């Protein structure tokens, strides 16, 4: 862990995914706060940008940017987006923009239009940023600075949407566009926290989801066009201080929300809700917290969550109706580590996950790892003493996978995803592998 802690400092550090954790935030001997919520966005060059907050001297706090290279082998930064004299909200949101990247954040800057309001700044590459401007009404009525979470997204027509949770009843809200003279929108009455904003890539509809602390559920509401809130089924196990992860799909319809089913936040089951159909799907009956979601190519979705010091991840089929093998990734420090937050980005196929971790040694920091989707391998006895091995990804056959049986050679799957071996009597172990996937094993008898 000491080596992990030393991996990143100002400038450039080396990483080595998949299969390795690399520290991204909490650098230069300044550990992160356990309530930090980093923002992620990927630009067209494949670089993954990270927005985060770090406390400074006195009451000051800086909104910072770091970058993970397209091949995930180097981390650069941090670069300063803006420094508040009076402190900053722990959440930062990053969104693709014509300029490259647009950041949304909030803080205390007495005597400034930025004071307590949603603020925004842009950058071409994350290294230098425009002067921030207010992106909501005056922060006096709805102080975004003390909001319980904030998020932002961009509609298909280029309109930006931002949302923030309550610090007190009536303090939460949303804003359409970037003009601070336009009134902020109202979330329903009560206490809302941890909002997430998602956009349907086909219809253009925009939705915001949040934890409703008064009703003890997760709710979702259309922002464009404006609609009424709807409670997600069996959503009483809200994950407080963790964004209600909400996303559209890449090149396919629907907005999806990752949440936890049940009544106990520590014993609930990871689940997925599709807003337009109202259908909920349980991912596993095993406990899971901080359930998160990320869009992947061809309409696929990544779902991921944590239990104790372990991260679990599954990628869906193209219809987002079935999920593949569960990847199990130990956090830095393993079972002795505490995971405080999860976020991720999957637009290039694998999942780039960022975990806010308190390891056994070293301070709290965000660590990155690239996770590959997992293959599934099953063996089936056939007539004539033969055994068929089938390789699938979220239920779909995988061609071009190499299946190796110890002592009996290897074969490559065709369109059916199946290979057949004539095996001697007894137990045999097979392994399936293909570039871009984590391998799978199976045993035949």
Tell me the pLDDT tens digit for each residue of 267-300: 999 999 999 999 999 999 888 999 999 999 999 9
**CA–CA distance, 185 with 445 (Å, rounded to integer):** 63
For residue 141, pLDDT over 90 is answered with no
The pLDDT tens digits of the residues spanning 230-248 come to: 999 999 988 888 999 999 9
For residue 331, pLDDT over 70 is answered with yes
For residue 11, pLDDT over 70 is answered with no
Under CATH, domain 2-371 is a member of which superfamily?
YVTN repeat-like/Quinoprotein amine dehydrogenase (2.130.10.10)
> What is the pLDDT at residue 233?
96
Q: Binning pLDDT at 50, 70 and 90, where does residue 5 land?
A: very low
For residue 29, what are the contacts with CB-CB under 8 A and spacing of at least 6? Answer: none
> What is the pLDDT at residue 295?
98
Domain positions in the chain:
2-371, 376-444
> What is the pLDDT at residue 1?
27
Q: Binning pLDDT at 50, 70 and 90, where does residue 2 land?
A: very low
- Please give the CATH topology (third level) of the domain spanning 376-444: Immunoglobulin-like (2.60.40)
Chain-wide mean pLDDT for the chain?
A: 92
Higher pLDDT, 423 or 149: 149
> What is the pLDDT at residue 62?
97
Secondary element (H or E) of residue 4 = helix 2-5
The pLDDT tens digits of the residues spanning 143-173 come to: 999 999 999 999 999 999 999 999 877 789 9
pLDDT average, residue stretch 67-76: 94
Percent of the chain with pLDDT strictly greater than 90: 82
Tell me the pairing of strands 289-295 and 279-282. Answer: unpaired
> What is the pLDDT at residue 385?
82
Lowest mean pLDDT among 5-9, 78-82, 90-94, 422-426: 5-9
Residue found by looking up tokens 């996950």 in the block: 353
> What is the pLDDT at residue 8?
34
**CA–CA distance, 223 with 187 (Å, rounded to integer):** 10
pTM beyond 0.75:
yes
**CA–CA distance, 173 with 243 (Å, rounded to integer):** 15
Higher pLDDT, 408 or 178: 178
Q: Binning pLDDT at 50, 70 and 90, where does residue 7 land?
A: very low
> What is the pLDDT at residue 147?
94
Q: Binning pLDDT at 50, 70 and 90, where does residue 9 land?
A: very low
Identify which of 303, 297, 197 has the alpha carbon closest to the alpha carbon of residue 243.
197
**CA–CA distance, 130 with 128 (Å, rounded to integer):** 7
């Amino acid at each position: 862990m000491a080596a992990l802690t030393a991996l990143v400092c100002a400038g450039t550090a080396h990483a080595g995914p998949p299969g390795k954790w690399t520290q991204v935030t909490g650098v230069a001997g300044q550990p992160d706060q356990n309530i930090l919520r980093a923002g992620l966005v990927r630009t067209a060059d494949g670089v993954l940008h990270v927005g985060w907050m770090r406390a400074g001297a006195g009451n000051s706090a800086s909104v910072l940017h770091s970058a993970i290279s397209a091949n995930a082998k180097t981390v650069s930064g941090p670069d300063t987006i803006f420094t508040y004299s009076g402190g900053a909200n722990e959440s930062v949101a990053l969104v693709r923009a014509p300029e490259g990247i647009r950041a949304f954040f909030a803080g205390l800057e007495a005597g400034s239009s930025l004071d307590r309001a949603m603020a925004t700044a842009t950058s071409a590459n994350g290294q230098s940023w425009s002067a921030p401007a207010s992106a909501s009404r005056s922060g006096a009525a709805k102080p975004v600075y003390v909001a319980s979470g904030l998020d932002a997204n961009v509609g298909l027509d280029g309109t930006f949407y931002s949302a923030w949770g309550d610090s007190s009843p009536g303090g939460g809200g949303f804003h359409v566009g970037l003009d601070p003279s336009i009134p902020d929108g109202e979330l329903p009455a009560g206490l809302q926290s941890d909002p997430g904003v998602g956009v349907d890539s086909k219809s253009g509809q925009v939705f915001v989801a949040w934890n409703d602390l008064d009703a003890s559920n997760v709710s979702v509401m259309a922002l464009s066009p404006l609609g009424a809130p709807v409670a997600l089924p069996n959503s009483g196990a809200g994950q407080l201080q963790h964004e209600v992860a909400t996303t559209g799909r890449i090149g396919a319809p629907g907005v999806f929300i990752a949440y936890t089913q049940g009544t106990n936040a520590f014993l609930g089951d990871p689940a997925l809700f599709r807003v337009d159909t109202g259908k909920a799907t349980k991912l596993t009956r095993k406990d899971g917290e901080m359930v998160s979601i990320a869009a992947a190519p061809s309409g696929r979705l990544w779902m991921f969550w944590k239990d104790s010091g372990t991260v679990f991840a599954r990628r869906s089929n193209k219809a987002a109706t079935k999920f593949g093998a569960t990847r199990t990734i130990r956090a830095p420090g393993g079972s002795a580590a505490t995971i405080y937050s999860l976020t991720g980005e999957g637009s290039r196929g694998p999942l780039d996950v960022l975990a806010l971790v308190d390891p056994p040694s070293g301070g709290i920091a965000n660590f990155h790892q690239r996770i590959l989707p997992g293959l599934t391998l099953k063996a089936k006895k056939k007539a004539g003493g033969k055994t068929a091995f089938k390789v699938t990804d979220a239920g779909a056959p995988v061609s071009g996978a190499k299946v190796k049986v110890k002592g009996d050679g290897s074969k490559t799957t065709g369109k059916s995803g199946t290979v057949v071996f004539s095996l001697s009597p007894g137990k045999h172990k097979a392994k399936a592998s293909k570039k871009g996937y984590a391998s799978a094993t199976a045993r035949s008898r």
